Amino acid sequence: MPENRLKVDARGIACPGPITELVKAYRNAKNGDIIEVMATDPGFKPDVEAWIKRTGNQLLELREEGGTYVAVIKVTAKK
């Protein structure tokens, strides 16, 4: 099956938090898919790092561009 690239725009979300948008995309993803999340909430960076560490998915890139965090994640840990 071809891999998908899922884009998630969570900019401006403070409540309940951009991590909820990542989880939503993760639910619909399959191993091999790429999820790209954009967020402005400063809590997003440590959250996404903790999420990667705990779930075992792969963080390809985490960068900041003018107040926006962009995380590029490869889904690998689904059983």
Partner 1 sequence: MKKRVVVIGGGAGGAILANNLPLEDFEVTVVDRSPYHYYWPWLLYVAFRGSRRPMRREIESLLKPGINFIQSGAQSVDLNNRKVVLEGGKTLDYDYLVIATGSRPTYGQIGGHEKAVEKYGDYHSTVENAERVWKSINSLKQGTFAVVVGGDPYRCPPSPLEGLFLAEEFFRSRGLRDRVRVVFAVPYPRPYPAEPMNEVVEPLLKERGVEYITFFTLDRIEDDRKVAVSMEGEELKYDALVVIPPHVGTDVKISPEDVLTTDRFIQADKYTNNIKGFDDAFVIGDASAVPVAKTGVTAHLQAEVVAKRLQGEDARNNGRTNCPFDLGYGLGTFVISDYRNPVVKLPPSRFSHMAKMLFAATYWDMVRYPELWNPIFEAYFDATEPAKLARIYV
For residue 45, state whether it binds partner 1 (rule: CB under 8 A): no
What mask of x and - would describe binding to partner 1 in positions 5 to 24, judged by CB under 8 A?
----xxxxxxxxx-xxx-xx
Does the annotation count 15 as an active-site position?
Answer: yes
For residue 37, state whether it binds partner 1 (rule: CB under 8 A): no
Torsion angle of C-alpha atoms 43, 12, 62, 30, degrees rounded to 10: 100
Distance CA 78, CA 69 (A): 25
Closest contact distance (angstroms) between CB of 36 and partner 1 is: 15
Q: Give bridge partners of residue 43 from the DSSP assignment.
A: none
Q: Among 1, 2, 15, 46, which one carries the catalytic annotation?
A: 15
Task: Answer positive or negative: Cα dihedral of 16, 19, 22, 26.
Answer: negative
| Number of shown-chain residues binding partner 1 (CB under 8 A) | 29
Which residue from 34, 59, 62, 78 is in contact with partner 1, where contact means CB under 8 A?
78
Give the active site residues. Answer: 15
